[in-house]
Each structure stands twice: as C-alpha cells, then as structure tokens.
Structure 1
Amino acid sequence: MSAIDPVTTEIIRCALLQAAEDMNTTLIRSSYTPTIYEAKDCAVALLDHEHNVLGQSSGLPIFLGNLEECTRATERVHGRDVWQPGDVWVLNDSYIGGTHLNDVTVYAPIFSEPAEPDEAAVLIGFAASRAHWIDMGSKDPGGSMDSTSIYQEGLRLGPIKIYEDGEPCDQVHSLIARNVRFPEPTLGDMRAQVACARTGAQRLTEIVGRWGLETVLAARDAVFAQTEQMERQRIAALPDGVYEASGCLDNDGIDLSTPLPVTVRVTVSGDRMAVDLTDCAEQATGPVNCGAAQTVAACRVAYKLLVSGDIPLNGGSFKPLEVVTRPGTMLAAVEPAACQYYYSHLGLIIDLVVKALAAALPDNAAAASYGDSMIVQFTGTDPRSGRPFVSQEATVGGWGAWRTDDGESCLINNVNGSLRDMPVEVLETLFPVRVTHYAIRPDSGGPGRTRGGNGVIREYRFEADQKLSLWWERSTTPAWGLFGGADGAPPLVRLNPGTPRQRTLLKANAVDVRAGDILRCESGGGGGFGPAAERPRAAVVEDVREGLVSDDWARTAYGLV
C-alpha cells in the first residue's frame, strides 16, 4: 500500500466523520416517532470492509464501537459472500447486539462503482444505525418491566434481509407489521434507518471515488495506527497495578429484596488495560441482563470518559483494551434471559471503572452520577383520537463533581449521551398527560469541596385512564462521593403524593392509573468531591441564592451559619 501524506490523511478522516454525521441527520429527520426525532435514541457508524469503525456520529455512547458486532455476526452465520449490492439487513437479537429487542440495528454493505462495465463491484464497507423502535410486540406495550424471558419481550430478528437488490422484502415487512402494535410508525422508522444506510453508502462511495480506494485505505491505516499509539501512551502513563471497585443494583424487578452485586477489576500493565467483570451476579430472573457485546461497550465508554476522551473514535481506539466477562452472568447473558432493562448495570459499571481508577487519575475522575435512565412509560388509548399510544422517556439527573468543578445538574445519564428528555410541549401534545411541575431538586447533589449536580422533580397529571410503568434504579448504591465527598440523594417516585392513596414506587409494570392521578418523580443527584468543610463559603451562599441548596442543607451539610 502506498504512503500517504498527513494532510490527505486528515482530510479523509474528517470526511469519514462528516459522513457519519450526515447519516445521523438523515435518520433523525426521516424518523416517524419522537423517541428518535426528539429524544434522539439512536446512533450510527460507518465501517470499513473488515468491520472496523471509520466514523461514528454523536449519539448514545452505550453503542460505542459495537455496531460492527452485527455485521460480523451476519458474516459468521452466512459467510463473506452473503454481501450483495442493494441489500439491507436487520438484527435486534439481545445476545448478539447486547441490547434489548427495541434497539434495532439496520445495516447495509457498501460497494464501489466498477470502473468498467464487466468489472465486479468491490465491497468497501458498511453503513449501520441502531434506533429504538417504540414497540416490538412484547407482552406489554412498549416493553415490560417484569419480563422473565426473552420470549416475553417481543419479536427477535436477525440477521435477516429487509431489502434485497434495492427492493423491499415484503414478506419480512409484513412479518414485522403483524407482530408490533404500531406498524405504521415502526416501518416508518425502519425506512428512516434504510435511508440512513443509503446516505452512508453514498458518502463513502463519493470519498472513494474522489481519492481512490488505495488512498482511502492508506489513510485508514494511518489513522488507526496513530490512534492506537496515542491510546497506548495514555495507558502507559498510568501506574501499573490492579484497581478494584464494587457496587450493586437494587434488584432485578422481580425479587425486590435481593441486590445484584458487581465488582470491577481493572489491570494496567504497561500499555495495556484489562477490565475483568467475571465477579458479578448470575443471570437474573428479571430483565436486567444483557449480551456481552453491550458490557464491552460500557467498558469502552468508561475508558474513553476517563482515559482518552479527547482522542477521536475509530478502529484503533480499543486495541489496547480487553474486557473479560463470564457467560451466564447478568453481564454476559445467554438464552432465554430477559434483557429489557439491560442498561441499568452498564451505567453502574461506568461509574465503578472511574471509581476504581480514581486514585491513578485523580484529576480526571469524577464522583458517581445518578446513574440510570430512570424510565417513565405511559400506555393506553388516547380519548382525543381513539388511538393507542406508548410514551417512554428517560429522566435527567445529577452528575458527580470532580476536582475542579461541581457536577452538572439536570443532565442525561452517561449511558445515553446525546439522548434528550422529552420536551414538555411534545409530551403534552402527543399523549394524554400534563407536566404540572418541572424543576431542579434542591439538596440532591452530594456535598463536597465541589458539589454533586442536582436531580430534577418532574410531576405529571394523567388526563385519561392509562397504564404506568417505571424502572428507577440506584437507591441501594446511590451516587457516591470521592476523596471525602458525600453521596448524592437516591431517587424517589410517588404516585398521588400527600394523599391517602400515596404509593412509593421505583419499579412497576402496567399499573392502572386514573384521570386526575398525580405522579411525582425525583431523580437522584451526583456525588460530591472532597470534604464539604473545604467548600468556599461564597460558593455555598451562591448555591443557596440560586435555589440549588436550601438554608437548612447549607447549615447541616456545610456548617454555614
């Protein structure tokens, strides 16, 4: 392969990254459901012909570097010759992609344009996207908080073609439509992902057409090599050793009295890092399990967050990182484990990796965040239209403080990245609910020299009879502080608060609620960093002035008179 100059390499690298962003824009603008076009519950990647990441857009970090597992799995099942121009594939198997069945990956091979009429097209890469489909035909609309088997969670696909030689596979489309509750928007989102793949194919063929395949591959190799070298340098700067941290999930949603432990062991040896997750709870009865691919992705998020967040992601990023799991555990589940809420322990893992390495990277480490997606789901029939609906949204909360600054308040959890909480106007327009209160939750951030971020209070009034499902986590292991900082407040959810009918809930499935009922959700805060006694008096006074800290909490937690 020919040598390539640095300028051309950088131009091609940026072109590939922009191609991924163009794919993401196509997906979001073409989608049918607010889960994608408003909340942006999606991610895209452009891959080379060997399944390495050429460019990945902003999106959900939890999909970091694992979209290629779907194309690799397809090739393992069907062989290398299965890839043909014009084909588009789909896969949502939890044990391959690692996620729940609602997260559907759509991907397509990309071929170069032949120079001569009698020449065969050459496979040059893949375009892939993953997006949350609002319903997969699970036993409850949108997804079940109490599933105990993958077979209760909906239609399990793939790897299977949804387009062949550029034409839709009508039988597969019909199969999907007949197995979901919302066929029109579901197929609409699927077609948006197909458009996303075609945008990626167009961009990559344009890049190859401009510079030539040999030059593009030379640029790829140079970028991968440079990235790997920089990653190894970052790891080599850490003290060798074994670093450990432990935590637990509240429960699996079925047995509410038994926490699920996780221990993270990070070994730094020279320019390599290994994360061992074999010491964790066995595969759970409830839906907190995930395939190993998603656990690997979580460790990659933690690694980038702490060690090399400023180095762009590509196929060289994780060469020095190894992740070890044990099949049959909740972090490497096998059939028929339920996987609907696969992400709860992934957020915990991210925080635990940071905690384990905090002593080695005190300037980079942050205290724990509120940690989970904190899902609120409404389902029913909208009396305004007579049509069924499902609304599922994540709730923002507080992030942990770090050495130089307070944690962010009211931010989506680190698993979800670019995902957004649902705008009040959209929620109230599309669904029979009203948001009656939405504000910062004072005193929820952990006290410290730098303060943990605050969670939020979000209160809903139901405008029609419907069903409520909840999945809120991290009350047993709330956001811990670092270096003497205090823990953040755990979450609190109450139905009809302050009335004789008050119920305190964190996990619930398809609970009947009536028009006029009130749901009050309070998300947790982030942990503090350093002793609270060392927080400057002026900073505490400013917190009180802004309503982030109450007068009582300023006296109790910070000793301010």
Structure 2
Amino acid sequence: MRSSPIQLEVLAHRFSAVVEEMAENIRRTSFSTFVKQTADFGTCLVTPQGEVFAAPRRISGNTMIGAPARVAIESLGEYRPGDVGISNDPAATGGLVTHLPDLWTWCPLYAGEEIVAFALSFVHASDIGGSVPSSIDWGLTDQHQEGLIIPPVRLIDDGRRNDALFAMIARNSRVPRENVGDIEAQVAGLRTAQRRMSEIHEAFGAQALKDAIADLLDTAESRAGDMLGELADGSYEFVDYLEGQDAVAADGTRTVAVPPTRLRLELTISGRTAHMSFEGTSPQVVEAINLHTGGEPGHYMLAFALVNWFYSRDKSVPYNSGLVRPLTATLPPGSVVNPNPGAPCGVRAAVFFRIMDCVLGCLAQAAPDAAFAAGAGAVAIAAISYRDAATGRRRVSVGQPLTGGSGGRPGLPGLRGTSYMGGWLRNVPNEVLETEVPVLVEQYRYRRGSGGDGAFTGGDGLIIELRSLDDDVTFAVRGLERLTFQPWGVRGGEPGQRGRATLNPGTPGARDLGRVGTVTLNRGDVLRVETPGGGGLGERPADGDLFALGDARDAYDRRWPARSQRALGDAVLGAVPFSRQATTYRALYLDADRRAGDGPVTDEIVHAALAAAGLRRNAL
C-alpha cells in the first residue's frame, strides 16, 4: 500500500464528499421533474484509464460502479482545462451510455499540469426526440426512432460554450428548456468536482492523491476477492425470462407476437474470482430492450447485484470499481446483453433488472444461508404527454417510478413498495405531478397481500390510479414486467403476485393493457397500474408457530384469511419487544379475537401467551 491508513481514510472521505456534492448541486439546479424529484442521475470520479474510484451512496443513482468510461474519455483526444465532453451514443462510448435519454458529460481534473482523474455525470433526459414522447417505447425497432444520437463531442471547448450544440439538442426535444437546464446543472456539478479536487491537490499534493486512488481500487479488489473466496467453488446456473408480447385480434383472440426473452447466467466461482457466462441468452431482439455493454465484463449493469452483495456483507469496503476487477464475463456478440450497434435500447432496464434476478438466483445456490427471493423485477415509469393549450406543442413529464416489493430476506421480510433494483429512485409528490400534467392521482398505495407467503414474506407491490383531466393525454409506461413470470420464492417461499395494468378498471369497458407501451386517454379515463409483490423466503410457519415478520398486521391478514374482511384496524397483536435475535424479529399472536377495546396488552398477558405456547421469555 502506498498511502498510510489514516491518510487513505481521510482521502477516501474527501473523494466521497466530492461526488456527493456534485450530485447535490445537480439535484438542486436541475429543471426536469425526473431529475430534481426522482433523482435519475448520477456522478462519479474515474481514473484517466476510466475506472470509477468514487461514487455516491446517499443521493442519485448508485449504479456507477463498473461504468466503462475509457472509450468516451479517449474519444476526445487531448484535453484542456476548460473542456467538457458530452455523448448519448451507446456504440461510440463503449457501453458507458446504455440508452439515448442518458446524457453523459465529463471533464478532466488536474493536479497542476497533470490530469489525475475525470469527473463524470449523467442525467436521464425527459425527452431526446424520436418517434414517441419521452423517447422510450417497447415497440421501437431501430435506434434512430429513439431520438437524437450525440457522438462524443465537446460541449464546452477550452472554456468556450458550444452554443450550436446546445441549440441542436434543444431543437430536437419536446422539452427544450428542461433539457438545456439539466445539462447546465451537469456542468455545474463538474465544475464543483474541479474546485474540490483542486483543493485536495493543494492540501495533499499530486502524488498522495494518485497513491490514494490506486490504493482504494486495490483495497476494494482485495476485499471482493476475499468475499468470493468464502463461497464454495463451482458453477451455478439460473434462467429467467422477460415478458413476450401478445397480439390481440378484434375478436379478443391472442397470438404470440414477440416470444419471451431468455436470460441465462452461469456463475462460476473459482477461488477469489467469478466468471459470468451468458451463453444461452436470447439473441438481440427487435424490441427496444437490448442492453449495450460494449462487451465489458465488469459493466455496471451486469455487476450491480454482485456489487450490492459485496456491500451488504461489508459496508466498510471501498465503493469503487475495484469491486468488479475479480469478475470476468462471456457476453455473446449479437445477444441482448451485447447487441450490435444500432440495436434499439430504450427499455434496456428490463434486461438489467432480470440480470440482477439471475445473479440472485445463482447466489441463492452458492450461499443458501444468504439467499434473497426475487423482487418485483421491474421499475415501471410513466411518461405523460399532453398538448399545451398556450403553445399548441406537446409537453412531456416523467412521472412516478413504480417499483414493487422486494423479496424476502434472511431473517427479515421484503420491503413494501421498494425493490432491490431501482430503489434509489424517489417518488414524485402527487401534488407536483398533478401540477405539471393534467391528471388526478386517485390512488397511490401499497397492494396489500401481493407479496409471496413464507417464513419471511415478500414485500407488497404498489397500486396507482391516474385519471385523465383532458383529452389526448398519452401515457408511455415502460418497464412493466412480471405479468406472466411471477417473482420467484426460495427455500419453499411462495412467488409474489403478478403485475397488471388496466384501462378504466371496474367499468364495462375495462381493458387489460398488458405491458402497456403507449396508451392515449381522454377526459375521465383511468389508468390503473399494479406492480408485483416480492417472492417469499422459506416455508410458511405452521399455525400456532411464531411468525418472523416486519408488519404484524400483514401477517394477521395472511394467517386468518377468513377474518381479513373484518375491521382489523384495532386488532390486537402482541409484538414481543424483547424478541430480537440477530436480525430476526418475531411476533406472538395473543388471541385472534382480542380487540383493542379489551384493554392494553400487559406483560402478564405476554408471559401467559408464552407459557401457553410452551416458550420462555429468554427462548425468543
């Protein structure tokens, strides 16, 4: 190690503070709802060779570890201090960009005359042009239908703003003001990194800064190798699927228009390394779900689940691309995980999320005691487009990120309305959504009972109902999944409930929308989206046993289905406050017929219930 332990710790926190401040400045100065409210953006610091050595955990997207920045950085050749690059071209950036709405920017960071690092950021633009509002739709079959493609180019050249490029980006968007405002927020974030890294250089010197970067990457690599080394050597295979698409005839007859997409992962553990083989995965498809990885083995959308697994086991591990150094991969050219240039990719998150499920499925075999059940497996995002009465132009706003429940966890139930994937995305307040687009949010709540049953139940999904307040309001809902293939349980746990989307539910004209894609609503129409619940972990305890759970009322509803229609708001369930063991929480059913009006649950009642169950207080 080149740095002293104390100095390395200090600099690690300084680097972390830089990316957090970058992210906070972008959030505070951005224009679009999807960036300022939902936080679909990201920041990081990378070496001149393109390895991420610092990324935020508190705000913004936390998918940056393994982002392959080298190709984008090298594409602009020599740099000067005032330069800022920009691109949204997957092929030209070697997989740094994965779909066109992600606008990536970067700038050099100097120590004196030497470039010691680069700062990067991306924002998810609400619209980058193309065939449909928001630029994303399952049905687009060519990347040119998905919007403006910007090859790596200087947005700012030696301090001089490229006004022609700004104008071109604005002209090719349905929301020019928001796009330009978000890009300027990115530039502000990059300038923050330049100032803060200059301060670090002045305080510690160039060599100390470079040594710390190298040591942090090496430390993360070593710690990741240690954790992989704890797993039994062997190959673990898991296969999962993305939804196909049915064609519906006028008489209601359904035929398969697009078959399901197969994701196959073979995870091979060998000592301190892991190999991810995607041989047997479907070839690239005509739908816009292809994931451009540039063939990079540690690509952030391939390695995300493993990176989070490392971090969940050891939260002190440096959070950087050293974690993906022990990973190699086989990515068949022309497959959905390594498609040819130009393959449509707007909904590539569907493949990203299913890869996470496959990794969890392999880890459930390699480390059964640390198994997680499948979560909702999707983040459905509704982009809402309407005609502005004042200008006659169509406006676009990206609404709620609708995730579902997470799967049951070792010792704990799944989280409600929060998935392992996309969990960093924040809610848009209903009041903000109703102010920006002509809709009324009639429901936004948990989908009670949708999580899979088990010793540790899956988390519930969500329900949202949106009523259109105007005619010709278009909803582009992308990413809705698990409509056929349920979120699986593990070790005897039950699968979570499937998702669904319905137009005008509860009316004679109600219609199942499948994956939705794009649907146009008129005044009074209602769109209802129900997201999947997570799978359960472990077999459901027998009646009379103690339940391991996080929400007593959820368990009550499931244990006593015949009573679930009763007014349960005042049902008494005695949660035993001294019953924590490691990370497992338990609750004891005192009396199924006991009501709140019967008086408080006293310590004597708890002890009597324990005695009746043949348990002692310290047995819990």
Q: Deviation at 1:537?
A: 5.0
Q: Deviation at 1:314?
A: 1.9
Q: Deviation at 1:11?
A: 0.3
Could you tell which deviates more after superposition, 235-244 or 379-388?
Answer: 379-388
CA contact (8 A) 1:268 1:274 kept: yes
Deviations 1:216-269 (A, max 9, x none): 112222222222211111111110000011010002698645111111100000
Is 1:89 aligned with 2:85? yes
Q: 1:272 to 1:485 in 2, by over 3 A?
A: same
* Residue 476 (structure 2) aligns with: 469
SS in 1 for 2:402: coil
TM-score normalised to the size of structure 1? 0.92
* Residue 5 (structure 2) aligns with: 6
Calculate percent identity across the aligned residue pairs. 29
* Residue 289 (structure 2) aligns with: 288
Question: What does 1:205-284 correspond to in 2, within 5 Å?
Answer: 205-251=198-244, 256-284=257-285
Deviations 1:478-535 (A, max 9, x none): 2100000010001011000111221111323442211111111111000000111358
Q: 1:322 to 1:537 in 2, by over 3 A?
A: same
Is 1:400 aligned with 2:407? yes
Is 1:28 aligned with 2:50? no
CA contact (8 A) 2:174 2:396 kept: no
Q: Between the two structures, name the one with larger relative contact order (CA 8 Å, sep ≥ 6).
A: 1
* Residue 526 (structure 2) aligns with: 518
* Residue 65 (structure 2) aligns with: 64
* Residue 132 (structure 1) aligns with: 124
Question: Unpaired segments of 5 or more residues in structure 1?
Answer: 114-120
Q: 1:219 to 1:543 in 2, by over 3 A?
A: closer
CA contact (8 A) 1:278 1:324 kept: yes
Is 1:301 aligned with 2:291? no
Question: What does 1:40-119 correspond to in 2, within 5 Å?
Answer: 40-58=39-57, 59-66=60-67, 69-70=68-69, 72-79=70-77, 82-95=78-91, 96-113=95-112
SS in 2 for 1:177: helix
SS in 2 for 1:61: coil
Is 1:373 aligned with 2:379? yes
* Residue 161 (structure 1) aligns with: 154
* Residue 122 (structure 1) aligns with: 114
* Residue 118 (structure 1) aligns with: none
Q: Deviation at 1:540?
A: 8.7
Q: 1:192 to 1:554 in 2, by over 3 A?
A: farther
Q: Deviation at 1:385?
A: 8.0
* Residue 488 (structure 2) aligns with: 480
Counterpart residue type for residue 307 of structure 2: K
Quick one: which of 490, 493, 496 aligns to 2:501? 493
Quick one: which of 349, 355, 360 aligns to 1:349? 355
Question: Unpaired segments of 5 or more residues in structure 2?
Answer: 248-255, 565-588, 593-620
* Residue 425 (structure 1) aligns with: 431
Q: 1:541 to 1:511 in 2, by over 3 A?
A: closer
What CA distance in whole angstroms lies between the structure 1 residues aligned with 2:546 and 2:394?
Answer: 53
Q: 1:485 to 1:325 in 2, by over 3 A?
A: same
* Residue 367 (structure 2) aligns with: 361
Q: 1:349 to 1:541 in 2, by over 3 A?
A: closer
Alignment coverage as a number of residue pairs: 544
Counterpart residue type for residue 399 of structure 1: S
* Residue 443 (structure 2) aligns with: 437
* Residue 446 (structure 1) aligns with: 452
Is 1:141 aligned with 2:133? yes
Q: Deviation at 1:74?
A: 3.0
What CA distance in whole angstroms lies between the structure 1 residues aligned with 2:65 and 2:544?
Answer: 38
Counterpart residue type for residue 87 of structure 2: L
Q: Deviation at 1:555?
A: 8.5
Deviations 1:12-44 (A, max 9, x none): 111001111011011101100110010000110
Counterpart residue type for residue 64 of structure 1: I
SS in 2 for 1:440: strand
Could you tell which deviates more after superposition, 321-330 or 540-549?
Answer: 540-549
Q: Deviation at 1:60?
A: 2.2
CA contact (8 A) 2:44 2:64 kept: no
Q: Deviation at 1:186?
A: 0.6
Quick one: which of 452, 456, 474 aligns to 2:462? 456
CA contact (8 A) 1:467 1:510 kept: yes
Quick one: which of 309, 319, 332 aligns to 1:313? 319
SS in 2 for 1:358: helix
Q: 1:469 to 1:253 in 2, by over 3 A?
A: farther
CA contact (8 A) 1:347 1:414 kept: no
Is 1:508 aligned with 2:505? no
Q: Which structure has the greater CA radius of gyration?
A: 2
* Residue 410 (structure 1) aligns with: 417
RMSD: 2.4
CA contact (8 A) 2:72 2:96 kept: no
Counterpart residue type for residue 413 of structure 2: D
Counterpart residue type for residue 406 of structure 1: P
Is 1:197 aligned with 2:193? no
Q: 1:136 to 1:9 in 2, by over 3 A?
A: same
Q: 1:209 to 1:136 in 2, by over 3 A?
A: same
SS in 1 for 2:459: coil
What CA distance in whole angstroms lies between the structure 1 residues aligned with 2:246 and 2:149?
Answer: 22
CA contact (8 A) 1:134 1:186 kept: yes
Q: Deviation at 1:50?
A: 2.8
Q: 1:243 to 1:461 in 2, by over 3 A?
A: same
Q: 1:554 to 1:77 in 2, by over 3 A?
A: farther
Q: 1:137 to 1:287 in 2, by over 3 A?
A: same
What CA distance in whole angstroms lies between the structure 2 residues aligned with 1:399 and 1:391?
Answer: 27
* Residue 530 (structure 1) aligns with: 538
What CA distance in whole angstroms lies between the structure 1 residues aligned with 2:499 and 2:556?
Answer: 17
SS in 1 for 2:403: coil
What CA distance in whole angstroms lies between the structure 2 residues aligned with 1:182 and 1:148?
Answer: 23
What CA distance in whole angstroms lies between the structure 2 residues aligned with 1:489 and 1:470?
Answer: 19
Q: 1:536 to 1:245 in 2, by over 3 A?
A: farther
* Residue 143 (structure 2) aligns with: 150
Could you tell which deviates more after superposition, 255-264 or 144-153?
Answer: 255-264
What CA distance in whole angstroms lies between the structure 1 residues aligned with 2:562 and 2:193?
Answer: 53
What CA distance in whole angstroms lies between the structure 2 residues aligned with 1:391 and 1:256?
Answer: 30
Counterpart residue type for residue 220 of structure 1: I
Counterpart residue type for residue 270 of structure 2: S
Q: 1:253 to 1:110 in 2, by over 3 A?
A: farther
CA contact (8 A) 1:43 1:130 kept: yes
